[in-house]
Each structure stands twice: as C-alpha cells, then as structure tokens.
Structure 1
C-alpha cells in the first residue's frame, strides 16, 4: 500500500525562516519568507530601499556577490511511513542543503527540483534545516574562471550557471541577481510506492479523444505487493496492476465524441479533469484534446512556418513573454491572470515564453489553457554560447526532462524551441574566434533537446531555435525561411524598412517607448526630468537607447520641445512603428503566417519595448496592437507603384462589406469618394487597388485617405509624414462626464484629429483608460471610458494628447 504525507516547510505552512549573510559587511539576521528571495526578504525587513527606485540597483549590487544562509527549525511526528524525503521544488541556485548538521546535497540549477532522502535523520523536536547559497554573480564568475569563458551578451557570465539569465540584467531589466528558496519545499513521507510524475498526453483520432498517460513510480526499498495504477477522464477509467519495482506505466483511455480544444478565435477551450491514483497516492490535472503540428516544408518561396491545431492552420498574432517581475516569487495566479488577459484583450493567440526567463508556474499555463492562448516555450538558453561539458550537460538533461514532463499535459503548449538567437549568434556575432572550436550549445539544440521532446512529448513540435531557417546551408535569420527576428529596425534603420522584408514568420520584432508617466516618475526623480538624466538612464537599459529613440523619429515626428512632448512623441512613435510592421506582415498573407512582437510585458519600471509597463498600464503600443491584431484588418499598402486596400480576414466567417474610400482635406472636406464591395473568404486576404481619384492628391500636405467599411473597420493613408502634414491644433474639443466607476471623456473633431490618446494616470496613477490612438475626421466623436476615483472637470495637454499637438 502507498500513503504519501506531505508537510510543507514554508512560511505559509507556519514555519519561521531567517536569512543572514555568510560574508561581506551585512551582519544582521532577518526574517525570511519561503518561497522567496533574499532581495525581497531584505526589503520586507527594511534593510534595503526599493531596488527599482532611482539608482538603488547599483547601490545594491553587493547582494549578488554575497553568500546567504536560510535557516529554520521544525518538529517532526513519525507517521508510520518508511521513507522520508526533503523535496525542494526550486533552489536559486548554487546551494548546499544541510539537515541536522548532515549535508544532504549540493545544487547548481534554478530550473529543476531536487529530492533528498532524509530517512532516519529526523528527530521529534528541533530539526534544523539550513540552505546556504553562494552569491550568484560570484558563482558565475568562479565557473568562468575555472572552466573558461563562453561568449555572452550583457555584463555577467550568466551562461555559466543554469539560472534565469535576465536576473543578471538585460537590455530591459535590472541587475538584481538574487538567491533563495524560490519554490515550495516540504517533507514527503511515504511507504510502498508513490507517484513520481505523470504525463497525460491528450490527442485526437477521428472524433475520439485519446489520452495516453505515462505514470512514473517510485518504490521504497523492500516494498512488497502489487500496485494498481488507474487513470480516469470524463468517466472513462483504465487500470493496470504492476509488480514491485516497475518504473513506468502507460495507460490509454478514450473519450468518444470529444469536444476539441482550440486556440482563441478558432473555437472553445473545453478542459477535462484527469485523476491518476496508485493506492492512496493521487495526482490531479486537466487536459484539452487537440493535435498540434508544425509545417516547415520547403515551397516555391522558401520554407514555411505554419502552426496548425486540429489540422487547421493558425495565423499567429502573438507577443514575447518575459518574467513578469524581476523578483519572480512575487508572482501569483492573480498577476498571471492580469498578464494573460492583456494578451487576450489585445487580440493575441500566442505567447512565446522567452529563453532568458523561467519555465513559468502552473498558473501561467493553466490560464493559457483556459483562455485559448497558445504557448511557444523556449528552452532556457538565450543570446549566448553554452558549454557542453559533462557537468552542465547533465544539468540541462535533468532540467529539460523535468520541464517537458511537467508542461506536456497543457493543451496550450504548441512549440518547444531550443534557444533564443544562439544559432544566429554563432553564425554572425563573432563567437567562433573566442570559442576556438569548443562546443557552444549545438549539441543541445540539435541532439539532446529534440531527443527529449521526441521521447517525452512527441505530440508537440520542436524548433531548433529562434530565428531558424530549417536548413543546414541557410542563414538562420533568412526572411525566406522559417522564423525571423527583425532588429535592424530599432538598432540601425527607419521603421519603414519593415516593408523591405517579406518574412515567412516573425518571431521577434520591436521598438522602444517609455512607460506610463506615473510609472516612470515613480522611480525616476531627476530634477529637472530629462531623457538623459542620471536616474532616467538607469531605467533605460538599451545600448544608446535614448539616441535610438531620437533617431527613430526620422521624418515621422518632430523632436520634442520638453519632457512632456518627449514622453508622448516616443510612445506614439513606438506604437506607429509596430503598427507599420504588423500591417505590412498581415498584408503578405498567406506568405506570412504570423508575428510575435517583442514584448508584451515589463519586469520593472523601465523604458522598453513592452506594450504593458511594469505597473500594468497599457501603453499606446498595446492599444495599437488591439487594432492591428483584430480578427479583421484593413490597411492601405503600396504595391507595385500603386496603393491597395489590403484586407486580412482571420475569422471563420466570410467578410462582406461595402467600403467607402474618401480623399479628404485635413479640415475633412471631401475631395473624392469611391466605394467598392469587399468580399474576403474565411481565413484569407485580398488586395483591392485604389483609383487615381483617391491616390493622386492636389496638395499632399493637406490631404489624407480614409477607408471605412460598413462594419466599422477603418484605415488611413497619409501622403506625407506628420512633420509635413498640415494639422490643426484646435481640431477637437473634449467634455468630461462622471460615471459610476470613473468618468467618460468624449472628444469631438472639427477637423482631422490624428492619434488621440488619453493618459489619466497623470491625474491618478490608479486610473485606467479603455482605448487609445483614435483618429477622427470632422464631425466624428469618440468616448474614452476611464476607471478612476476622482473626476476632473476638464482634460487637456498633457492628459489628452494627439499628433496635432506635436506638429500644428
């Protein structure tokens, strides 16, 4: 018989933990929270200031070079079981674990769990558990000094350790390399046999759901008697009886007429409860029945990259996801729900969990299952070469096996990806000379990881890297093949360069902009506030980031006059750049099969590529993504020396609408008008040429084109950039009306009002607005709905902004 008794050794479980420095000048022992991190413990104890504020990041760098000791005591009551094990789900990172003075083991990997046999070591009262952590920066440097340096980006040799890379700082994140017991820890006491892991892989054959459940078993020494392993799903139960010592059991259950799981926009997301039992030990989870495939076959244009669910190709409208807080132990189901909802509300259907972060908690993947958000999961290798020595390879093997085993059940899981930019880096970033022929990670991406996926999760496709062209003799970032990252835009060239590319699939592209004003000023206190202020530059991590913000304005927008205009201009330019690229990519359908913008979220208050800032405020970029990621998109595009209306219908219904195309003056006088009937089949696209009466302006500086479908879809075309466009400064008026939970701001235009945006956080950091970047022609109105406590009597600059403000 089996009986598993789990006793949490966590703060919520009632234990008191402390943490103290083992070296350096910090001599105070403070209360600790487990799970937690040393930074958050020191902050809670009042021993350090907020690491995100001002320039505290550099002032607190000593923490990452200090070794720390976590300690607790607990009593133990024998329960009759024969085996006791200490289970640590996550230790960050280089640690020594000691119980009652006896060393249990040493760890070197944040991304896996550990199980230590403590049978016979526990006493009734005063068990002392100590976990000592080497300072992570020191540990990484010691590995580098002892085994050599492998090329990497950023300051510290993060690639020397199996630890969250971005914890050492990134071009959007702070250098707060931390240590701690970051996931739950407990004592498990058991006898006979227990469940070690469960992989319930749900697929579809014809209209039947097939659940193949792989159960790994652990047996106590000397265990006697057979064990019955059972799985139940949707009322169907399958069982098998096994002999002692049996390591794995496979059970196959079928569900007739199963309801399929679909990504959002393609169907519903039914989930089925699964229960696995071995005597008194049990496991519970949920699965969704679906098949996922990845088509990377060659075609006449290069190499496809098409994700299909249930044999239906999915046009991907996605974003890259980074850890949602630099201190990941502060994340919970509520914070994850907010982030996933940001993706859902923006019209996204995929989140790519980036390789410099973590394998996220079950909450994240459960929410994606529920909301129909596909997950592209990177293995945790990013922007660096990695040693393939035996010790690191063993850690990678253990980490990957655990991650695939844990996550494979999720219906949302669509792609396993070997790494972020490492193949590209080897080819193009000057690594080969310093590597001098040493292995650099290819053995992981082309051998170890695909073998593990094929063994443990054969139902989920594997990609060797991102970007990757799926060909031995093709540059890994070739637009014609597979996946592409577009970073010359932002780093070097104007965003109009997006139109020079015809990518099959864009898995990264992005453009920077500042966070919301209230977010920025909560941590930047320069007087006067300036883009190049000392604290401002602490919160701008990109190389020459502010220079690139300025250069990126190009001819699109004028250089700012003051800090308020800097903030609005650069936020607006960020949104326009990504809209420009996304509209172009969608106009290429079916050649292009999706885009994944960099990035959805931030992990602290910072100037970055994010659409939602570190305080959860949706930037103008988020609002433009909501438009360009809509199921149905109209956009005007140049094609072969003419203008066309590109219509992409990513829905299951035919799109039929009358479309009016009007050439107007910026005062909104109608100069020419044409109509046509738009007919776009489901999941398809059309191009409709525009006549010269529309495309040939009399005065390009005073005219624009408005495209409006009867269903409300709109698009605009401007013959010149805003710096040459004659916009009126008094083109609109606003009224404020109180509502039950805040207020409405209704803006009515008397002339072209371009890119209207409301920033209520300037009045109240907690205020939120429902829409942004709205363009109005004369006579049109739009109402912004604001959730807030206080109601202003009126709004104007800098709360209500438009492009008109900048150029009139």
Structure 2
C-alpha cells in the first residue's frame, strides 16, 4: 500500500468573504496548517490575538459563528500496482462537506469518526483540487436542537439539552468550569491518499484465560481487496489467516510500577510484558508452504507485503467487581485475579486545540503520572477518544485506562437516526482501542444519570425523561458486547445503586450515594465547601474529587499584561472558570492560609491549600477499608487557568504533584488527629508484606528543637491497612508544634498542629545553594523550613523536588542543573539566596 500525506499547501478563508470588502480591502485566502484548527490559523495570520492570553477568548467568539473553507491541491499519477484509491481524513471537526475537483463527494458530521472516500475513478492525472467546507457547529447545533425539541414536544425551558448535545465533537470545546469556550473547527488529524490492491482494515487480538496458567490469544483480521493475512507474535510463531496462539505461563501485563511480577522469573521491567504483534497482508499464494518451511518467523515478514500492521500485545485479564458486602456493594478492579487499589486521576484533552498534542507531549504528561505513582487514568467523557499514541504509552508505562464514551454533563438525543450515529461511533472507537492491555473499563457517560436523578438546576428545567438513556442502556453496551466481549461496562459515572428496593436506606440511594458504586465527591468544593469534609465520605471508589488552585507564576507570566498582575484583577478572574465565585474561592484558602496580597502569594497559598485538601482526601480513602480507588479531578489543564489540575497547562507540578509521590506510593503513612489524640495509619497496597519500625517526632517550629519521640514496630500483609501507633498530644503548644511521622522503607509525613496561618515559625533563613553532584543541588539552611518552594523566574519545572519541609541543615534537591536565578519562599516568608558553584 502507498500512503501519501496531504498536509502541504493548505489555505483557508471565511465562507463568503471573497465577495465582500472590509473597508477598501477584500479578504484573501490565507495559509493554513493541517492538521490544525481555525483559531490557530487565525492567530498565525494576525487576524485574532492568542485566545489563551488575557481576555482574548471573549474577543474571538465570532469565529465560532462563521463558516470556514479549507483547500489545497496535489499532484497524482496512476500506478497499476495500486488500483484502489481512498481519501482518508482521520479527523474532521466537525460539520463539513468535502469536494474533489469541485465535485461534492459527501458530508461529514463526527469529530470522533474517520472519513474514508473511495476516489478510484475520480482522481485526475496531474493536479487535483481538494476542498473542505465547514459549517458553524454552534449554528448547526442550535438548529438541530430546535428541530428535536419540536419533534419531542419539549418546552424551551428544558436545560442541559443544548447546542453541544447535537454535535458529535469534544464537548469541552463548548466551555467548561476549567476550560474556555473555543468551539472551533478544522482538519484536526492527518489527511492521506491511500492507494492499494489490498489492505488491512482491522485486527483483533483477544486474550482469554483457559485452565491453570494457559492463556489463548485469538487473532483475526479484516481486509479490503486481495491478499493473504499472516499473524505473527514475536517469540511465539505465525498463523496464516485467523487463528489462536496458546501461551503457557506467560509474563502477565500489569499496572504495577515500576515492575511486573512473574513467579518464575521474579521482578521484570514493566515493558517486558508486551509482545510485538505484526500482521502482514501478503500477495504470495504459497504462504502455507513458506510457513512450514520456516521462512516466515515471528517478527520476520515477507518483503513483498502489501500492507503491514504492528502493535504490542499484553496478556492480561481485568475485571470490575461489583458485589454485595458489609458496606453495601463493592466497586473494585481486579487484574490477573488480584484486587488492586486504583491510584490516579482524570485525564482531559491536554489542549483546547487537540491537534497541538503530539507524542512527545503525551509522553511527558504520562511519565509524570507514573512519577506520581499512578496506576490508572480515567479518560473523561467530555473530551476525546484519545490517540493511538496515548494508549500505546499507557501500555508501555503500566497505566490502566478507564475509558468514558464521549458524553458528559448533558442530555442527548437518543431516538431515530441518533442511535445509528452513536452505534457507528462506538464501533469505530471500540475496535481501535480494544487491543490495548491497559484498557480496563468502558463507561457510558460522565454524570448524566446523576444530573437527571438529582435534577440539576431544579425541577422546572428537567426534561420529562432521561434523554440519552437509550444510548447508555442499549446502544453502547450492545456495541461493547459485539466488538469487545468480556470487557467491563458501566452505563454512567457515578454509577451508584440500582433503581430498586435492594437499598433500604433512602439516604444511600442514587448514583452518587455512599456505599455503592463509584462516587464523585463534590460535597467538598461545590457542596459544604471546605476540604475537611472529605473525612465524611463512605465512597467505595472516589472517581472524581478535587480542590482548585492557581497555575504557576511562569504560566501567568505568559498570560497576563503587567497591569493584570494582581490576584483580584479582571483578567485573573477571567482565567477562573470554577463557577464558585472569586471571593468564595479565596475564602476557602483563607480558612487555612494568610490572605494573598500579591499574585505570587495566591499561587503559593492556593497550591498549598489544594495539596492539603487532597492529602486529607487520598489518605482518608486509602486508610478506609471500604474504598478501593482514588481518581483525582483532574491531572492536566488545556489552557492557562485556575483549576483542580495537578499540573498546569505547561506540565508544571503544583504542590500536590510532589506530594502525590508519597500519597500514591505502595507503602504510605497517614496522620489522623482527633483533639489531643493522633493515630498513625499505615497502608500496604503492594504485593509484598511490610515489616517496619515506626516513629512520631514532635518538633518546635520556632527553634527546630526535638520535643518528644514515640516509636514502635509494626507489620502489614499485602493489601492491608491499619493504625500502627497512637499518641497523646496533651501539653504541646498547638501554634509551635509539628509532628513528623516516619517508617522504614517509605517517605515520611508531617502535620502542623495549628492552621498554617496561625503557626509561629522561625524567620526565613539565608539559603546557600550549590551543585553537589550530577542532577542534585544542596541547600544549606540555619533554621527549619516549612513548605519551601523553589522557582526560577517563577518557573518550578527545573526542580524535581519542591515544597519541602525539613529540619536538616542541608537539603538535597534533584535538579538537572543550577539555574541562573532561584527564588525561594516558605511559610515563614521569602528567603535570601546565595549561590555557589562548588559544594557546600
């Protein structure tokens, strides 16, 4: 097969602009980037300002009401060896018509589904003209809404059945409580001309377990045109045509980091559990003879292959267990027969214009997830079915994927032709993703059932029924059964209790109640507010919960004008989409930290408050016997914003990111205080028993003096948790005491006895910074430091360790090199820095 990418020579114009003037000048066609988006092209040509900067988002809303036309031309010469010609658009966003040499080929209407057009007999020798005309998704969505409301006899007051419900594109692009409204359009994924006599259309490698340690991988392929299919599994062998590979005692894929366990070989690197799998479409007619003769071997395909398809296969069984128990009903993932404690976050599209997100950017984000101890990501339903590179990286890095279908926080049309549209969308994406061993779960939507059950917005704006239920209860589970049989599926998240009498306690009924299913714990932040209420949750699996904070100062520096540099400026407020209210947001932080006088204060205090919030949340869930998972809302951001993200849009860790290395470690300590009593909990979510010494030390925060020590010995079996030490704080000065807890083989933790804003601390000491060895800085201090934040021109990224609390005279910080400038602040204030180029 011959593939020609058609990415050059594109230009664009607003439809109708050629026939009118702006003043005395007529608009012309402008150069465009493909793959790309219209907003990026308008910025590149100086038509609009960057919508991420200041309040420019507001000034470019007209773009989404206009129609846009893209065109290019390409040269083509026929080749007899390739009699079939297909034009392939991997992603069109969204409502558009496609023209070849001024002939309209088709219309397209789904951002999530590739478009292929048979252009055999339509191409001209020499120059060919290709044109894509986009209609405004906003206008089309509103038109379809009006028609559907009339068809269904719905009142105009019905809420959450809006323009975006009628357009199959990433829903977050219409605006969210962390993202801008930049609906956009464009050719957002690659465009190519495919020429072939035969090609591979789809491959399915289905893993199943037989008796004992025997596993079978059934392989089958779909082809178009002529040819014989050969399936080759590296190190195992090959099959001509569909067949099965039988494996005895294979190394099983698992999310354990950084190693996978095999009883026969001990610990192996995580990516050793992936086997290269190649499919060859061969025009040779004697494949059986060649196979028997040993000519075709795993990983060695014939040189005259018509088409080749390659991936990695992992042997893995993943199940979602939902079983009655003493707490209600479990919600727990089981991998290869072993229950796991899921640790991770929710993943949103990593940019408002997703064509920007390349493989290198994805690797950066996902390797940081592994650094923070993640074993799961939930691909959230208001975003995308992610790229192949995303799932490949999850396979490689050992990250389980919970995949939502692309529906979120809205009602959706679910009758007539809409069911066919969604059935096709589901089929295409299930087939594309199903071979990945990291795929753990399909989920019908995000929060739509809860929205209907709890009547968001009040009874007056509710539709007469749960619009979308036909998709989640019929179309999507049927698609999973047909194309990924055996994979777990839930209709919505949170899933909650069944709608029957099995739950006697009315307070525990519903999709988001305690005791059953997964839970989105927004009682904190959107409900009662302060993060102390995390300790009240009895959620079986917390699949969404979070607390917002500012992005880093270096992101603000790219976003603000010097006149905006204030925590209460209109532009800073504009980049807060949380819908909580500016004063309330600041009020939540000021419950615990001093009032922010500067934007730098706000960055520091809000990030610390977020860290403290999720420290309590994660520790509460991990030390509770009823909970089996924590997926924080959210891992990443798509633009410069104040949000619940763990890392900002530049990939910088917030304070929480550094703390998650401890919170998500297999062995973890947690301090719990009730009045004068403090309990030290330990959690062992590894596959090994843990025998350890344990201690709690009390220090004076002014002098650094050690006041008291409590110590003991403890042990925990795998997948267990418990209290390992209990102490009485009577007589300690609350405003001058910090507790530091430590145990063998795991990171220590600490607790201030008073609110940070009320603590008495030593004045900021002079810090002497020097290089110590490759990748390590040494910081000498004459006083204890509490939450020491290091930046370089406001950028935290040079420092791999940060927000440090220490009583040592010398602190070591991982850093690739000594930055030219360093700023340091702690709870005590700003520190003076002295840098030297030789060791301290």
C-alpha displacement at 1:669, in angstroms? 3.1
**Match among 177, 194, 210 for residue 188 of structure 1:** 194
C-alpha displacement at 1:405, in angstroms? 0.2
- For 1:456, the equivalent position in structure 2 comes to 483
* Residue 692 (structure 2) pairs with residue 657 (structure 1): yes
Answer whether contact 1:761 1:768 (CA < 8 A) is retained.
no
- For 1:769, the equivalent position in structure 2 comes to 799
- For 2:768, the equivalent position in structure 1 comes to 735
The DSSP-based 3-state class of the residue aligned with 1:575 is helix
- Give the Cα–Cα distance (whole angstroms) in 1 for the partners of residues 818 and 710 of structure 2: 46
Answer whether contact 2:277 2:313 (CA < 8 A) is retained.
yes
Any runs of at least 4 consecutive aligned residues in structure 1 with deviations exceeding 6 A, and if so which?
149-156, 739-743
- Give the Cα–Cα distance (whole angstroms) in 2 for the partners of residues 770 and 153 of structure 1: 46
Structure-2 change in CA distance of 1:264 and 1:445 (3 Å): same
- Give the Cα–Cα distance (whole angstroms) in 2 for the partners of residues 295 and 433 of structure 1: 38
The DSSP-based 3-state class of the residue aligned with 2:757 is coil
* Residue 205 (structure 2) pairs with residue 200 (structure 1): yes
- Give the Cα–Cα distance (whole angstroms) in 1 for the partners of residues 157 and 522 of structure 2: 20
The DSSP-based 3-state class of the residue aligned with 1:75 is strand
- Give the Cα–Cα distance (whole angstroms) in 2 for the partners of residues 341 and 638 of structure 1: 34
* Residue 612 (structure 2) pairs with residue 611 (structure 1): no
The 5 Å alignment of 1:624-773 reads 624-638=659-673, 642-666=677-701, 667-692=703-728, 695-711=729-745, 713-730=747-764, 732-738=765-771, 744=777, 746-748=779-781, 750-751=783-784, 753-762=785-794, 765=795, 768-773=798-803
- Give the Cα–Cα distance (whole angstroms) in 1 for the partners of residues 603 and 167 of structure 2: 38
C-alpha displacement at 1:297, in angstroms? 0.9
- For 2:243, the equivalent position in structure 1 comes to 251
Answer whether contact 1:758 1:784 (CA < 8 A) is retained.
no
Count of aligned pairs = 772
- For 1:40, the equivalent position in structure 2 comes to 40
- Give the Cα–Cα distance (whole angstroms) in 2 for the partners of residues 419 and 198 of structure 1: 27
C-alpha displacement at 1:567, in angstroms? 2.3
Residues 247-301 of structure 1, C-alpha deviations (whole Å, 9 max, x = no match): xxx5322233321111033613321121223333332221111111110111110
* Residue 165 (structure 2) pairs with residue 159 (structure 1): yes
Answer whether contact 2:564 2:571 (CA < 8 A) is retained.
no
**Match among 632, 635, 655 for residue 600 of structure 1:** 635
* Residue 621 (structure 2) pairs with residue 585 (structure 1): yes
- For 1:275, the equivalent position in structure 2 comes to 278
Give the TM-score normalised by structure 1: 0.90
Answer whether contact 1:420 1:465 (CA < 8 A) is retained.
yes
- Give the Cα–Cα distance (whole angstroms) in 2 for the partners of residues 444 and 774 of structure 1: 49
- For 1:264, the equivalent position in structure 2 comes to 256
The DSSP-based 3-state class of the residue aligned with 2:829 is helix
- Give the Cα–Cα distance (whole angstroms) in 2 for the partners of residues 671 and 544 of structure 1: 42
Give the TM-score normalised by structure 2: 0.87
C-alpha displacement at 1:399, in angstroms? 0.9
In structure 1, stretches of 5+ residues that fail to align are: 242-249
Structure-2 change in CA distance of 1:36 and 1:749 (3 Å): same
C-alpha displacement at 1:214, in angstroms? 3.1
The DSSP-based 3-state class of the residue aligned with 2:525 is helix
Answer whether contact 1:757 1:802 (CA < 8 A) is retained.
yes
Residues 572-613 of structure 1, C-alpha deviations (whole Å, 9 max, x = no match): 11111111111111111x311110011111111111111111
C-alpha displacement at 1:40, in angstroms? 1.8
In structure 2, stretches of 5+ residues that fail to align are: 261-269, 283-305, 501-508, 831-840
- For 2:263, the equivalent position in structure 1 comes to none
Residues 763-789 of structure 1, C-alpha deviations (whole Å, 9 max, x = no match): xx4851111222223x45422333457
Answer whether contact 1:526 1:533 (CA < 8 A) is retained.
no
- Give the Cα–Cα distance (whole angstroms) in 1 for the partners of residues 157 and 444 of structure 2: 18
- Give the Cα–Cα distance (whole angstroms) in 2 for the partners of residues 120 and 574 of structure 1: 61
- Give the Cα–Cα distance (whole angstroms) in 2 for the partners of residues 239 and 441 of structure 1: 43
Answer whether contact 1:289 1:411 (CA < 8 A) is retained.
yes
Structure-2 change in CA distance of 1:641 and 1:188 (3 Å): same
The DSSP-based 3-state class of the residue aligned with 2:627 is coil
* Residue 378 (structure 2) pairs with residue 352 (structure 1): yes
Structure-2 change in CA distance of 1:471 and 1:488 (3 Å): same
The 5 Å alignment of 1:426-575 reads 426-428=452-454, 429-430=456-457, 433-438=460-465, 440-473=467-500, 474-491=509-526, 492-525=528-561, 527=563, 529-575=565-611
- For 2:102, the equivalent position in structure 1 comes to 101
